[in-house]
């Protein structure tokens, strides 16, 4: 756990860090942790922050939140209970009014909750004022709170204080943002798992294995006069290889985890009048695109989102890829080709009731080499193309017969879209992976170089102090995932992505 407790004064916290630094200097194998004094001072700031914690707009309830040592005093100044004592009791909700103390004027009828440290989100005193949910009311309440001694919170500052206090690690703090931004049930599930510490647990296991071989090496270096037994080269190589293998597995989880978090772009491609717009409407289960028998009805790119098996699919219906007949079609085809290059998956639609033409084959060449599935549309009409012929002409293995008019085959196609995007439930070898975000992936990639160097060096019998140095490098980089060794500018970047009030 990070040594960033917010209990006690800033001076005591700094003194604790200084003692910890001296301990690390004498026994550097104990932990890769390095916490800056400025981070501790930030955590022990004497200011109290406040913000509107609910979205702007009209709603039944809106919340103004405070956190910090003065939260209770400020609340008691601006809150007038309708009954009972004036003092606030921790983790109890009180009914009363928010009053402007300067004018002795009631602003709103509220419910107020006071929660005393450390059993709060930030491990500081926290107050939440439940007001009516109008923009004007919330702004007035916030202004009174700010005039009474609080300052306006920065984006993500409540969660940052939870991190600095050691209540959550950095990967869990990032999971809070993922939960807020989750667009599907599966994306929410993955974010909740990370909030529960799945990634931190994996990092802790890697850390434990590396420290297990580093401790005797450092003891051997520091106390050469003692008869300290070194781990065998085979044991060190085994630990390093296992660590490298696990890191590669975690890195491989990034792509599929990102699919569930951000969704994927799927382009519906084909020549004019093969049923692309009808297919879009069928998948969306509503009339989104205009469908006519006139070729070239779609002249722009139509984008719509749909949730398929927990994945956010961004469907793109576009103009038929043919030689344009006028400026409007020319612009539509240009946009279509641009979107085609962005797509994670292509649905190539072919009219099964008509023979293949040169225009079809030209489109086949455009999508060649891309991840694609083939839809043979209009199976309600007599066939002119068989599946084998279409597979051979397009080079696409997965073929789905469909009637966009009647809906025949649509469920099989939906399953095929999902199957083409993911390999199953974010798993490798029966073990569910811990999805990582882009920052985690980049940090993990930075451990691979030192790991490979340490492996090669140990096999060549390099001096033990170099092996120790390389293992400590790996531990330091791994610490960035959970925030133990993360540079402050990275922390600022992460928390700046949060909304104000969280």
Domains and CATH numbers, the chain: 49-153 (3.30.1360.120), 195-260+437-496 (1.20.120.430), 268-421 (3.40.50.300)
Cα–Cα dist 45/160, whole Å: 13
Task: Quote the tokens at residue 109.
Answer: 């009828």
pLDDT at 21: 38
Phi and psi, residue 113, nearest 5°: -115, 125
Question: In whole angstroms, what is the distance from residue 276 CA to residue 267 CA?
Answer: 10
Long-range CB pairs of 241-248 (<8 Å, 24+ gap) are 241/455, 242/209, 243/206, 243/209, 243/210, 243/447, 243/451, 243/474, 244/448, 244/451, 244/452, 244/455, 246/202, 246/206, 247/206, 247/444, 247/447, 247/448, 247/451, 248/448
Integer angstrom CA distances of residue 86 from 105, 106, 130, 148, 284: 17, 16, 18, 17, 56
Burial class of 344 by CB neighbour count within 10 A (0 to 12, 13 to 18, 19+) = middle
- pLDDT given at position 320: 56
How far apart, in whole angstroms, are the C-alpha atoms of residue 324 and residue 326?
Answer: 6
Structure tokens at 233: 């080269």
How does 275-305 read in b/e, with b if 16+ C-beta sit within 10 Å?
Answer: bbbbbbbbbbeeebbebeeeebbbbebbebe
Q: Which of 5, 272, 275 is nearest to 124 (CA)?
A: 5
Q: Over its length of 502 residues, how does the chain's per-residue pLDDT go in tens digits? A: 333 333 333 443 444 334 333 333 333 333 333 343 344 434 445 799 999 999 888 889 999 999 999 999 999 999 999 998 888 999 999 999 999 999 889 999 999 999 999 999 999 999 999 999 999 999 999 999 999 999 999 999 999 999 999 999 999 999 998 888 888 887 888 888 889 888 999 999 999 999 999 998 888 888 877 778 888 888 999 999 999 999 998 998 887 778 877 788 888 888 888 888 888 888 887 665 444 343 444 445 678 888 888 888 888 887 655 555 555 555 656 666 666 777 888 899 999 888 888 888 888 888 888 888 999 999 999 988 888 888 888 889 899 999 888 889 999 999 998 888 876 444 444 455 566 788 999 999 999 999 999 999 988 888 888 989 999 999 999 999 999 888 888 888 889 888 888 8
- Cα torsion angle, 247, 252, 254, 260, sign: negative
For CA atoms 186, 188, 189, 190, the dihedral sign is positive
Cβ proximity of 130 and 63 under 8 Å? yes
Residue 184, phi then psi, degrees to nearest 5: -140, 165
Q: Which residues contact 256 (CB under 8 A, 6 or more apart)?
A: 422, 423, 426, 433, 435
Element (H, E) at 36: none
Cα-to-chain-centroid distance, residue 100: 41
- C-alpha closest to that of 150 among 79, 297, 50, 284: 50
**Is the link from the previous residue into 494 a cis peptide, with omega within 30 of 0?**
no
Residue 362: CB atoms within 10 Å? 13
d(CA 455, CA 233): 10
Q: How far apart are CA 121 and CA 102, in angstroms?
A: 31
């Amino acid at each position: 756990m990070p040594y960033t407790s917010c209990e006690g004064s800033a001076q005591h916290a700094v003194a604790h860090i200084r003692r910890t630094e001296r301990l690390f200097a004498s026994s550097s194998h104990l932990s890769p942790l390095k916490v800056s004094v400025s981070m501790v001072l930030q955590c022990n700031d004497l200011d109290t922050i406040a913000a509107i914690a609910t979205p702007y707009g009209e709603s039944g309830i809106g919340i103004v939140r405070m956190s910090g040592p003065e939260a209770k005093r400020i609340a008691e100044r601006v809150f007038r209970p309708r009954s009972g004592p004036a003092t606030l009791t921790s983790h109890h909700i009180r009914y009363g009014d928010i009053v402007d103390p300067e004018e002795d004027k009631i602003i709103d009828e509220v419910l107020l909750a006071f929660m005393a440290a450390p059993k709060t989100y930030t491990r500081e005193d926290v107050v939440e004022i439940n007001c009516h949910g109008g923009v004007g009311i919330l702004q007035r309440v916030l202004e009174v709170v700010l005039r009474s001694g609080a300052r306006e919170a920065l984006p993500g500052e409540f969660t940052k204080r939870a991190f600095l206090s050691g209540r959550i690690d950095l990967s869990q703090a990032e999971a809070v943002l993922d939960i807020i931004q989750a667009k599907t049930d599966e994306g929410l599930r993955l974010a909740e798992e990370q909030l529960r510490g799945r990634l931190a647990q994996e990092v802790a296991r890697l850390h434990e294995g590396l420290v297990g071989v580093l401790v005797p090496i450092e003891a051997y270096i520091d106390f050469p006069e003692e008869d300290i037994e070194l781990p065998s080269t085979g044991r060190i190589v085994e630990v390093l290889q296992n660590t490298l293998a696990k890191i590669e597995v975690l890195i491989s989880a990034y792509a599929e985890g990102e699919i569930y978090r951000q969704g994927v772009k799927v382009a519906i491609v084909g020549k004019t009048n093969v049923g692309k717009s009808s297919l879009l409407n069928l998948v969306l289960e509503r009339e989104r695109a205009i469908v006519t028998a006139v070729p070239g009805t779609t002249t722009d790119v139509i984008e719509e989102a749909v949730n398929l098996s927990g994945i956010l699919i961004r469907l793109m219906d576009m103009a038929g890829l043919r030689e344009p007949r006028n400026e409007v079609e020319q612009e539509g085809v240009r946009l279509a080709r641009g979107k085609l290059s962005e797509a994670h998956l292509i649905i190539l639609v072919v009219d099964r009731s008509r023979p293949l033409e040169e225009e079809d084959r030209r489109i086949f060449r455009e999508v060649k080499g891309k991840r694609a599935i083939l839809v043979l549309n209009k199976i309600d009409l007599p066939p002119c193309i068989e599946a084998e012929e279409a597979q051979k002409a397009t080079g696409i293995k997965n073929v789905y017969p469909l009637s966009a008019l009647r809906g025949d085959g649509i469920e099989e196609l939906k399953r095929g879209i999902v199957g083409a995007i993911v390999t199953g439930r974010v798993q490798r070898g029966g073990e569910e992976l811990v999805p990582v975000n882009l920052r985690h992936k980049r940090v993990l990639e930075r451990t691979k170089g030192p790991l490979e160097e340490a492996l090669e060096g140990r096999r060549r019998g390099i001096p033990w102090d170099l092996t120790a140095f390389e293992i400590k490098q790996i531990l330091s980089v791994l610490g960035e995932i959970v925030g133990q060794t993360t540079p402050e500018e990275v922390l600022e970047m992460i928390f700046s992505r949060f909304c104000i009030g969280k």
